Amino acid sequence: MVNFRYPYIFAFYGLLALFGILQWIWRKRKSEELSHWGSEKVRDRLFSQINQSAIRWKNRMTYWGLILLIFAATGPQIGMKLTEVKRKGVDVLVALDISSSMQAEDVKPNRLEKAKFEISRLISNLKGDRIGLIVFAGTSHLYLPLTGDYDAARLFLGAIDTKLIQTQGTALQEALELGMKSFPQESEKYKVLVVITDGEDHEGQALEFAREVASTGIIIHTVGVGTHIGGLIPVFDDNGNRIDYKKDRRGKLITTILNEGMLKDLALAGNGVFTRFDNRANAVEDLLKVINVMEKRTLKTHQYSQFEDRYQIFLSASLILFTTDLFITNRRKRRGTWHGRFV
C-alpha cells in the first residue's frame, strides 16, 4: 500500500505538462523559421557542429528528472512493517444535559458552553481511554458511541446545542438506562458514566435506578453545572438573538437553580463523586483525578501497517539523470569535411 505525505504536490505535474506544451509550440515555430534558411544541405552545414540527437536526449533526461523529483517531493510511503499496539484505559461515557435551563448564564458564557469547554479539556487529558457522548433533555440519545478517536469526539462535542432534542425536561433515569446499555458487556469493571446536568426539572426515580446501574460495575460521577444563586433562562429567536427570558404561566420570570443535593445523592448511589462546573478555571481537575487513578485494562489490541519513507529512491534517480545531463555535450566530436562550397 502506498501513501503520500504531501499529495497536493502532484499539481506540479500540471505545470510541467503546460511547460512541455509551450516548449513544443516554440520548437515547431523555430523549425518553420529554419526551413526558410536555405536548402537542407545548407542547414546541415550551418549546424554541423551541433549534436541534435544529444540535445533530444538531454531534454528527455531533464523531463524525466523533473517527473521523478516531483514524485519524490510528494513524500511516497510504502507499508512495510506490522506493529502491535496495546492501549490501556477505561470506558468513559458522558451524559450531557441539553435542556433549555442549560442556557442560563449564571456560569459564563452559559451552563452548556461551560460544560462543553470542560468536557473538551477532559477529552484532551485522557490517556488511552475511550470516550462516548449521550445527550438528554426530555428524552435521551446516544450521540457518539465509545471511541478512541479524540479528534472526532471534540468535533461531535462542538456541534451540540439545545436544539438537538425538542422535548424539554431532565429525564435522568432514561439517560442512566441508555448509558448502562451503551457500555460493552464483556467486563463488569472499567466503566465510568459521567452525568453533567443542573438537575433542574428532574423526573423519575433516578436514585433507585442509579443503585441498580452501580450493581453492574458502572461507576456514576455527577457534575453540577450552575450556581446556588441561579440564573434566568434566555429565549432566542431563529437567528440566535436573545429576545426575552423564560416565564411561567403567570408571566413570572423563571429562575433555574443548581440542584446540588440531588446530584450528590446520585453520585453516592453510583459509588462515584460529585463535582461542580462553575466559574473556576480548573473545574474539570477533580473529575480527571478520579478517572486517572482507576484500574486500567487493555481496551484494544490491533496491528496496523507502519509506513516507511521511500522518497529517497526517486530522488536518487532524479539526481542521476540531472548529473548525467551535465556530461552530455551538444557539440559533435568530429567536424564535417569542407568541400569549398555549400552546394
Whether residue 109 has a cis bond before it, omega within 30° of 0: yes
DSSP string across 176-224: HHHHHHHS-SS-SSSEEEEEEE--TTB-S-HHHHHHHHHTTTEEEEEEE
Least confidently predicted of 38-47, 283-292, 294-303: 38-47
Predicted confidence at residue 141, as pLDDT, reads 95
pLDDT at 13 over 50: yes
Better-scored residue on pLDDT, 280 or 121: 121
Predicted confidence at residue 176, as pLDDT, reads 93
Better-scored residue on pLDDT, 31 or 127: 127
Summarize the confidence of residues 307-328 as an average pLDDT: 85
Summarize the confidence of residues 295-322 as an average pLDDT: 76
Predicted confidence at residue 154, as pLDDT, reads 95
Domain boundaries, the chain: 2-80+309-327, 91-295
Torsion of CA 47, 50, 51, 56, to 10 degrees: -90
Closest CA to 13 of 97, 74, 102, 87: 74
Residue type, position 27, single letter: R
Contact between residue 48 and residue 332 where contact means Cβ atoms under 8 Å apart: yes
pLDDT at 321 over 70: yes
Summarize the confidence of residues 1-14 as an average pLDDT: 86
Summarize the confidence of residues 101-129 as an average pLDDT: 92
pLDDT at 313 over 80: yes
214's enclosing H/E stretch is helix 206-214
Closest CA to 102 of 246, 214, 215, 1: 246
Predicted confidence at residue 300, as pLDDT, reads 62
Q: Each residue of 182-213: pLDDT tens digit?
A: 998 776 678 999 999 988 756 567 888 999 99
Partnered with residue 223 across adjacent β-strands are 196, 275
Q: Which residue pairs, CB below 8 angstroms and at least 24 apart, start in 17-24?
A: 20/63
Predicted confidence at residue 34, as pLDDT, reads 65
Predicted confidence at residue 342, as pLDDT, reads 46
Predicted confidence at residue 225, as pLDDT, reads 93
Summarize the confidence of residues 208-219 as an average pLDDT: 92
Summarize the confidence of residues 268-294 as an average pLDDT: 88
Summarize the confidence of residues 297-324 as an average pLDDT: 77
Banded pLDDT at 76 (limits 50, 70, 90): confident
Burial of residue 164, with CB atoms counted within 10 A of its CB: 0-12 exposed, 13-18 middle, 19 or more buried: middle
pLDDT at 32 over 50: yes
Cell matching residue 201:
426539572
pLDDT at 101 over 50: yes
**Helix, strand, or coil (residue 106):** coil
Predicted confidence at residue 114, as pLDDT, reads 94
Closest CA to 225 of 127, 327, 306, 109: 109
Predicted confidence at residue 328, as pLDDT, reads 78
Predicted confidence at residue 334, as pLDDT, reads 56
Contact between residue 238 and residue 110 where contact means Cβ atoms under 8 Å apart: no
Banded pLDDT at 297 (limits 50, 70, 90): confident
Give percent of the chain above pLDDT 90.
34
Residue ranges of E strands in the chain: 2-4, 76-89, 91-97, 130-136, 140-147, 191-197, 218-225, 231-232, 234-236, 242-245, 255-256, 274-277, 297-309
Torsion of CA 248, 250, 251, 257, to 10 degrees: -40
Give percent of the chain above pLDDT 70.
83
pLDDT at 343 over 50: no
HEC profile for 294-323?
CCCEEEEEEEEEEEEECHHHHHHHHHHHHH
Predicted confidence at residue 269, as pLDDT, reads 94
Looking at residue 223, the DSSP 8-state letter turns out to be E
Q: Please, what is the average pLDDT of the chain? A: 84
Closest CA to 88 of 128, 147, 28, 126: 128
HSE toward the beta carbon, residue 263, CA cutoff 13 A: 25
Which residue in this structure is represented by grid cell 423526573?
203
Q: What is the maximal distance between C-alpha atoms in the chain?
A: 120
Residue 193, by phi and psi: left (phi above 0), alpha (psi -120 to 50) or beta?
beta
Burial of residue 258, with CB atoms counted within 10 A of its CB: 0-12 exposed, 13-18 middle, 19 or more buried: buried
Summarize the confidence of residues 115-143 as an average pLDDT: 93
Most confident stretch, 93-97, 231-235, 310-314: 93-97
Q: Each residue of 250-267: pLDDT tens digit?
A: 889 988 888 899 999 999
| The CATH fold of domain 91-295 | Rossmann fold (3.40.50)
